[in-house]
Structure 1
């Protein structure tokens, strides 16, 4: 189900400030791959670090899975290899079931809201429990009462003598994202439930997972109004678009190219070829036509791709935002595994500084992973979280 139909706009209760952008401030991995009982704080810019095997990539993977569920996707889409998400050595229950648990906290106009999810991965992928809480009150609770059914039993906070409304929700979806279809919003209690649910969905949906693949970025690509894909393989197409749409940001990108690429760089250009494709070039300020990006090293290509991501926005990146909600209520979160991969120390420091600047402005939030945290230590506005194996 597409969650575009589920979220109609941010709701606030009397006395609440309505301008704050919802943001995930904590990622919880209660039992996920190598993680047990982990509570990872997230600021405007957070970088995970640690030795190989400490769980940097799996933490980002869990965040992306929550984002997919918040957007209305099913469990199979969010966890394509669900059995591998079960912690090693986890014992099955009496019915032979094994699973994992993840969650997050989202701050925003409705105050801190906690979402916790328990998933059965073996023998069948499905939700076995979900809990949405705020201000010490449980707003939604689901449980798998009958293993033979595809639905879970759900109870959400409401008004009246009973205090809760009961029903069934699909066992392969995030119940929080479905609440706007089931809660009328006529009473203050119902509005509280909707405000909390919609805050979580807004924070989770606006995510762009980025992992530039240099070997896919070297060839010319078809020109068009496309948006930057996860692997940044259509970098030249997007540069062709952004160069004419926003001269100020393009100039900032050219400045980043000068700081992070070898030689004297004066501009980033796009050349239209006879076959209708385009290729990007680094202008060197002399009579030469420029250096095609295809000739650059992997580090320079990753650096340029990540700089482009940081300097653009939802209209340029391939991200599924909530069209019905004003941009002032939304915050784009970039997930960047291997943020410093292939980069030399100077490139890594330059990119961290650029990211910190953009995050401080409130344009984006960034959650990434680095192998060498020295590029970020001491940078204002950057939180470095050390993960232990």
Structure 2
């Protein structure tokens, strides 16, 4: 993902592996980076920009800070981009600039990607007319000559309009649409899990089984896993037993007179405990574990008919509500989910125990976020690219290094005056 001009980021790139952990001090920009991915995902749904980012027609509400919170301070525009792998080998690249005031509109948008003739600019915007609510694009046609002009609405992502507006009368035009569909599919597959324990304590309709962002329908999701995927359900119960302080004999659901369901954890001698009485930590673990175990088929993401949806599962503060001793369990679930085809996981964490449980081969998936003291800009950087990484890792495990503040986040200016004097230099 390219955070070209977004909130605290300028000309930054967030590298994503199958398993990515984002670390850094408070206010370093971790949440802002996740917001950038959330914005792209919302725009890919095809809603009007303001509706998508202010959450006017969404159960999930607004993106953090809303539309006006997306540009950097002092600016009225923001620019984001992403690179997406495609079935044709070469990746596709989408970049978009959005103006939030005085009018909300696309200022520019560009898609490049593979064709039978090599990588091409598949479409790009032309200068908009000030007296119109449209913005034009010129697109790839597979032959030389002046490319035609197509007016599109400037109040929503242009890629989402191609399927109904581009003629698609030639192979080249169909290539444009196919690449756009792949990019949009990847963005629509972003699922930002933000469990809200107090919402999980109610009866929910049994049919509402695809886990939502807030995990408010956790009971229905767990019930479906128990009925349709016994192996996954056994893993879920096994994990819960490792998390709980007390023995757990059974996990099940109970029905209300109206047919709605609620999760129940049977603690043996302690008796059954319904979801409304479970701890925040236990409910949060169940939500995260459910999403990780079921993957793209168990969460509420767009699933186009005839396609195999991808999933990028995003969890902020992954370890919230869990004891540090459970870090290895979380990591096991993350590894399993990330190993599935078409699945990525991205999480922020402050857990030294979780970081210390990583193997050295997983360190390239750790991204360090920090803020420049002078400009205030955030910068994401692979852990393995951080200056002094090899030296500080000789001091111990990653969690210990981070806890002791030994990990440098930027190249520091050093004063070599005394060293030079001893060598007789200068």
TM-score of the pair, normalised by structure 1: 0.83
Provide, for residues 323-351 of structure 1, a one-character-per-residue CA deviation record: whole Å limited to 9, x for no partner. Answer: 232x2xx3122121222222221234311
User: Which residue number corresponds to residue 49 of structure 2?
Assistant: 75
Hey, what's the Cα distance between the residues in 2 that align with 1:105 and 1:168?
25
Residue 171 (str. 1) matches residue 154 (str. 2) = yes
Hey, what's the Cα distance between the residues in 1 that align with 2:126 and 2:28?
32
Hey, what's the Cα distance between the residues in 1 that align with 2:207 and 2:85?
38
Q: 2:274 aligned to 273, 292, 302, which one?
A: 292
Hey, what's the Cα distance between the residues in 2 that align with 1:220 and 1:191?
47
Residue 139 (str. 1) matches residue 113 (str. 2) = no
Hey, what's the Cα distance between the residues in 2 that align with 1:191 and 1:221?
43
Q: 1:371 aligned to 338, 345, 350, which one?
A: 350
Which consecutive aligned stretches of 4+ in structure 1 deviate over 6 angstroms post-superposition?
A: none
Hey, what's the Cα distance between the residues in 1 that align with 2:38 and 2:370?
21
The gaps in structure 1 that reach 5 residues or longer are 1-26, 91-97
User: Which residue number corresponds to residue 9 of structure 1?
Assistant: none
User: Which residue number corresponds to residue 360 of structure 1?
Assistant: 339
Matched ranges for 1:108-147 at <5 A = 108-110=86-88, 111-134=90-113, 137-147=120-130
Hey, what's the Cα distance between the residues in 1 that align with 2:9 and 2:328?
29
Provide, for residues 87-124 of structure 1, a one-character-per-residue CA deviation record: whole Å limited to 9, x for no partner. Answer: 0133xxxxxxx211111000121321111101101111
SS in 2 for 1:122: coil
Hey, what's the Cα distance between the residues in 1 that align with 2:12 and 2:103?
25
Stretch moving more, 352-361 or 260-269: 260-269
- Counterpart contact for 1:157–1:165, Cα < 8 Å: no
SS in 2 for 1:312: helix
Hey, what's the Cα distance between the residues in 1 that align with 2:354 and 2:335?
12
Larger radius of gyration: 2
Over 3 Å counting, the alpha-carbon distance change for 1:324 and 1:276 in structure 2 is closer
Provide, for residues 18-50 of structure 1, a one-character-per-residue CA deviation record: whole Å limited to 9, x for no partner. Answer: xxxxxxxxx111110111111011111212121
Residue 89 (str. 1) matches residue 67 (str. 2) = no
Hey, what's the Cα distance between the residues in 2 that align with 1:374 and 1:388?
21
- Post-superposition offset of 1:151: 0.9
User: Which residue number corresponds to residue 317 of structure 1?
Assistant: 299
Stretch moving more, 247-256 or 175-184: 175-184
Provide, for residues 294-326 of structure 1, a one-character-per-residue CA deviation record: whole Å limited to 9, x for no partner. Answer: 33322222111100111114443222121232x
Hey, what's the Cα distance between the residues in 2 that align with 1:373 and 1:171?
46
Hey, what's the Cα distance between the residues in 1 that align with 2:352 and 2:22?
8
Bigger helix share: 2
Residue 241 (str. 1) matches residue 220 (str. 2) = no
TM-score of the pair, normalised by structure 2: 0.77
Over 3 Å counting, the alpha-carbon distance change for 1:84 and 1:225 in structure 2 is closer
SS in 2 for 1:388: strand
Q: 1:57 aligned to 31, 34, 43, which one?
A: 31
Q: 1:226 aligned to 189, 209, 219, which one?
A: 209
Hey, what's the Cα distance between the residues in 1 that align with 2:159 and 2:257?
51
Matched ranges for 1:293-308 at <5 A = 293-308=275-290
Hey, what's the Cα distance between the residues in 1 that align with 2:12 and 2:190?
22
The gaps in structure 2 that reach 5 residues or longer are 55-65, 372-426
Hey, what's the Cα distance between the residues in 1 that align with 2:258 and 2:238?
30
- Counterpart contact for 1:103–1:117, Cα < 8 Å: yes
- Counterpart contact for 2:18–2:339, Cα < 8 Å: yes
User: Which residue number corresponds to residue 236 of structure 2?
Assistant: 253
Hey, what's the Cα distance between the residues in 2 that align with 1:156 and 1:224?
43
Larger RCO (CA under 8 A, 6+ residues apart): 1
- Counterpart contact for 2:94–2:111, Cα < 8 Å: yes
Hey, what's the Cα distance between the residues in 1 that align with 2:122 and 2:206?
48
Stretch moving more, 107-116 or 333-342: 333-342
Q: 2:313 aligned to 334, 357, 360, which one?
A: 334
- Post-superposition offset of 1:280: 1.4
- Post-superposition offset of 1:148: 2.9
User: Which residue number corresponds to residue 389 of structure 2?
Assistant: none
Aligned length: 352
